[in-house]
Amino acid sequence: MKKFFLTKFLLGLMLLASPIIAQANELTISAAASLNNAFTELKDEFLKENKGVTIYTNFAASNNLLKQMEQGAPVDIFASADQETMDKAQSASLILADSRKNFVENALVLITPKANTTIKSLNDLEKAQKIAIGAIATVPAGRYAKKYLEEKNLWSNLEKKLIFGEHVRQVLEYVTKDEVDAGFVYKTDAFIAKDKLNIVANADSSEKIIYPIAITKNTQNKELAQKFVDFVLSEKGQAILAKYGFQKP
């Protein structure tokens, strides 16, 4: 009996606390790994203008973030590195469709370790022993790399040499630590580690790399979430993103 009343008491406390939790000035943002540096600065600047707000950020491969949301992870804002993943989120009714906006454009580049002088062009990839790209099923940069290599008729010849990273920053790390001969990352990733690598070629495919951002359907702070999205789209927000190599879509 005591256990029964204790359970009811604890449940009552939880129910009383839930409106407070829902009204708290907190946001959780899940964003593609390539946005890590830029969104960290965006968050810091936003907090300077919005005292009393707390923001939690979660960076990973876009599709992994989607899976977390599908499994019930509490997220207020989702920023993907591709349209395909955001389309899936919209189809699953995980985001508010009318809040979805394209906010930056990126580009894919072929990079090599700083000391590597063997690979100087795309055609030199035949000489490589190991080439790093993002895991195709979960990392948009990996999918972009595959499409680019297919368009250049190189995929079948190079596939056996590929090392797959869990996200694009892992691919960047493979290259900067000289663990592979070359890798495909976003231009913005190459930008933050430019002293440790060579940009060998732009890997422009027929598909533009446009990042969308949206407010989630289950957000408990829609107004605050919209305020952050507006900040990302603002002149100041876009200037911060431009610092890290992103362009307007």
pLDDT, one tens digit per residue, over 117-154 is 899 999 999 999 999 999 999 999 999 999 999 999 99
- Provide the Cα torsion 151, 153, 159, 164; round to 10°: -20
What is the per-residue pLDDT for 237? 98
DSSP label at 136?
T
What is the per-residue pLDDT for 117? 86
Residue 45 has pLDDT above 60, yes or no: yes
Hey, what are 63's tokens?
């599709």
- What is the rounded distance in angstroms from the CA atom of residue 78 to the CA atom of residue 123? 37
Residue 183 has pLDDT above 50, yes or no: yes
Which residue do the tokens 């979960």 mark?
Answer: 138
Hey, what are 141's tokens?
């940069």
Cβ atoms 156, 79 nearer than 8 A: no
What is the per-residue pLDDT for 35? 97
**9-18, 30-39, 68-77, 222-231: which range is least confident on average?**
9-18
Residue 131: Cβ-neighbour burial (10 angstroms; 0-12, 13-18, 19+): buried
- Bridge-based pairing state of the strands 131-134 and 182-186: parallel
DSSP label at 218?
T
What is the per-residue pLDDT for 205? 80
Residue 15 has pLDDT above 50, yes or no: no
